Structures are given as structure tokens and as C-alpha cells.
Amino acid sequence: MWLWFHKLGSPKYFYTLAGKLIPWFGWITLLLVLAGLYGGLILAPTDYQQGESYRIIYIHVPAAWMSLFIYIVMAICGAIGLIWKMKMADIIASSSAPIGAAFTFLALVTGSLWGKPMWGTWWTWDARLTSELILLFLYLGFMGLQSAIVDRRTAANACAVLALVGVVNIPIIHYSVEWWNTLHQGSTVMRMDKPAMDTRMLIPLLLMWLSSQFYYGTVLMMRARNEVLDRERDTGWVKELAMEGK
Amino acid sequence: MNNTGLFTAFLTILKRDLTLAYRTRSEVVNPLLFFIIVISLFPLAVSPDPNILRKLAPGVIWVAALLATLLSLDSLFRSDFDDGALDQLLLSVHPTPVLVLAKVLAHWMVTGIPLLLLSPLLAVLLHLPTDAIGVLLATLALGSPVLSLVGAIGVALTVGLRRGGVLLSLLILPLYIPVLIFAANAVGNAAAGLIITGQLYFLAALLVLSLTLAPVAAAAALRISLR
């Protein structure tokens, strides 16, 4: 386990491993998306209250989950990068930020598209919406800080501190905003007893969630590979790769 | 310098920063003028109607306080960074977080406290009910140190950058939002005659949290920025 962890910390090892994994992850993503969309858009029954428009959850809910998940990944990578000075952790954190921001944006857009027919408004200053918007600002701040600092190691460490401060702040924001009147419906999946959702609706949702995880993995590895090449361009193995024309 | 105690070092930095602030008075006064001007814009722009102003007052005063703090933050480490005093601070034998805390305390004393003293006057201008003014002072007393402490992290991250100003607001304002929500909510509730102990406790909790963690984060950020 530790050996594997150490190996993964080496950019060269990561580069070859990710190169092999990307096609697998990509195809799994595609299969899961197709299965999830088929199940969600065709097989799942119509909601008795919301009609057909509830089907946007198959995009919205996974995107919202991923937006939080990726931020936590960034914070953990930031901590690893600060404590053990692992280069790969910095690379993963910096490659994750735009993906996370994209998922956050997607969750906001789909939510507002759904909100118009359901709530009669595109936007409302409700707890979830506001904290998701702030999450987007945190992502943008992270990316802004990263591009503002020229030196890579400094940028990575500064961003790691920011991500850690932000992750402390996320629950605070969430609960502080919760005290305003809340319009967004409560969670129907993450509950202590069984989910308050029909299984035929739940399974496609979980498939879509899995597919977004794999999508994140695929895109992350692609971005991280580019980043590795860019950072390691002065090393021997990258030059060899360039010579081979790969 | 080696055999000075930690407390002496803390007091020395505090005294030095206060003296420096006293010598550059205009830098201290400008954020306050900004605070007053921003607030006086609202009656002109929105409406001079006392009923509307009364409703807007808590939010307006808090947003203005937030922006004024943001403006003043740049002076926290900037001049020390330029003349190299910050490097000396980091080389000191004493733990950096404590020294950072002294600098933040000095910053709060020259920006937070004047803001606190000015706000009742502005609250009267905005027709805030008298009962709510005491609560406004309480929220500012609890909240403005949080603004200085959290702001110190952002300044420490951006101090090495040439154009850190706009970036600073992007980094810091999302982190200020909990303070803003609880404080404005408390003042609004007080004006409406509701209970506010919960919000005040939360503000106090935020103050304790940032008092303990923010200096550590800011010190780490300074070490990164100055490498």
C-alpha cells in the first residue's frame, strides 16, 4: 500500500499509469452515462408532483455532489502537498479546480432551469443556492490565486492554504445560510433510513453519479498528465517522450 | 532580541504598528471616509424614505464595514513586505502566529475600533431604531476582529503579488459571508424586536474560531509568500 502510494507520487509513474487508465475510465463513463440516461429519461416513472421536469435531477444532483466532492479532494490534496511536499498532490489539486468549478456552474444552471417551472423563478436567495454560489466563488478565487502566482510551488502551496481555509468555511456557510427560509427541498437520498425515492428513479441517479465520478477521473487524469509534462519538461524522460514523438 | 520574552515581543510589535499607523494617519482615515461615503450614497441612490432606510440599514452598514476593512487590509503587511521587516519577523525566534496576531490586533485597533465608534452616528442617519443600535455595536465588536483575522490570511497569500488588490477581494469576500449573515440578521431581528442571542453566540464562536486558527494559517501563508 505504502509502496503504491510512493510510486503514485512520482510524476513519471503517474504519467504512464494514467495513460493506461484513461481509455478504461472513458469507456466506463460513456457506458454509465448511457445506462443512467436511459434509465432516468425513459424507464423511470413520472413524478406525481413535479411531472416530467424532475428528470433534470439526473444531471443536477450528481453535479452538485461532485462540486462538493471535488472541493474536498482539493483540500485533502492541499494538505498532503503542504505536509509531505508531494508534487502529485499539488498537480491533482490544481487540475481539479476547473473541473469542480464546471460542476458547480452546471449544478447552478440546471437548478435554475428547473426552478423556473417549479418555483416560478430562476433564482432565489435560498440556503442551498447561495452556498453553492459561494462555492463557485471559492473555486474562482482558487483559480485566480493560482494564475496570479508565477512560481509553481509557491502557487500550489498558497492555493493549498486557501483550499483548507475554504473547506473550514463551507459548513459554516451552509449552516449560516440555512437559517434563512429554505425553499430547496431536503435530501431524499442521503438519509439514515431508506431513501425516500422510488428504486426505479434511484438507480439511474446512482448510475449518473458513478458516471460523473468516472468522468471526473478521466478528465482529471488527462489534465494532470498535461500538467506533469509541462512541469517536468526539463527532465530526461519527458525529453525522451518528445523525441519518440508520442 | 534573543532573550526577550514572547509577551514583550508581542507588545513591541503592537506598539510599533500603532506608532507607524499614527505617523501615516491618512492611510488610517481613508477607509473610514470610504465607510461614511458609501453609506451616505444609499439614501441618495435608493430612497430617502425613513421606512425603507430602516430596513436597509443593518445590511448597508455591514456591507460598508466589510468593504472598508477590505480596503484597509492592504496596509497590514504591505509596507513591512516592501522594507523587509516581514522577513525579520519570520526569522524571529518567537512563533510567527503570535507575532501575526499582534499585527492583526494593531490593525483592528486602528480600523475596527474607529468603525465601531462611527457606526452609531451612521445608524442614526439611516433611522435605525435606538434598541438596534446597541446590537449593531455588539455585532461589530464581535465581527470586525473576525474580518481583520480572516483578512490577514488573504493578505498574507497575496502580499508578494504586484496586483493583489482585486484578487484579495475575490479570496476574502466569500470567507466573510458567514459573519455578514449572522451580524446583519442579528441587527435586523433586533430592529424587529426578535430574539438575537443565537446570532450573537454564533458570532462569538466565529471570533474564537478565527482567533485560534487564522493566525496559524496567516503565518503559514506568509512563509509561502516570502519563499
Write the pLDDT tens digit of every residue in B72-130: 888 888 888 888 888 888 888 889 999 999 999 999 999 999 999 999 999 988 888 88
A179 touches chain B (CB under 8 A): yes
B178 touches chain A (CB under 8 A): yes
All three cell numbers of A43 = 424507464
Per-residue pLDDT of chain A (246 residues; tens, 9 = 90+): 666 767 777 888 888 888 889 999 999 999 998 988 888 888 777 776 667 777 888 888 899 889 989 999 999 999 998 888 888 888 999 999 999 999 999 999 998 888 887 777 777 777 778 888 889 999 999 998 888 888 888 888 889 999 999 888 888 777 776 665 555 665 555 544 555 667 777 888 888 989 999 999 999 999 999 888 888 888 888 888 888 865
The residues, ordered by sequence, that sit 6+ positions from A23 with a Cβ below 8 Å of its Cβ are: none
Using CA atoms, how far apart are residues B47 and B64, in angstroms rounded to an integer? 17
All three cell numbers of A206 = 446512482
Nearest of A140, A112, A146 to residue A126 by alpha carbon: A112
> Considering chain A, what is the average pLDDT of its residues?
83
ipTM for the whole complex:
0.81
pLDDT score at A219: 93
CA atoms B63, B64, B66, B70: torsion sign:
positive
Using CA atoms, how far apart are residues B103 and B109, in angstroms rounded to an integer? 10
% pLDDT > 90, chain A: 28
Of residues A138, A164, A168, nearest to B174 (C-beta): A138
> In chain A, which among 121-140 make CB contacts under 8 A with chain B?
134, 137-138, 140
**At B95, phi and psi to the nearest 5?**
-60, 130
For residue range A207-232, list pLDDT tens digits in order.
Answer: 898 999 999 999 999 999 988 888 88
Nearest of A67, A53, A59, A46 to residue A211 by alpha carbon: A59
B175 touches chain A (CB under 8 A): yes
CA atoms A239, A243, A244, A245: torsion sign:
positive
Nearest of A70, A138, A76 to residue A103 by alpha carbon: A70
| Coil, helix or strand at residue A51 | strand
Tell if the CB–CB gap between B178 and A176 is shorter than 8 Å: yes
Nearest CA in chain A to B173: A137
> Considering chain B, what is the average pLDDT of its residues?
88
Tell if the CB–CB gap between A141 and B181 is shorter than 8 Å: no
Nearest CA in chain B to A169: B175
Using CA atoms, how far apart are residues B17 and B11, in angstroms rounded to an integer? 10
Helix spans in chain A (H): 2-8, 11-38, 57-84, 87-119, 127-148, 152-178, 199-231, 236-244
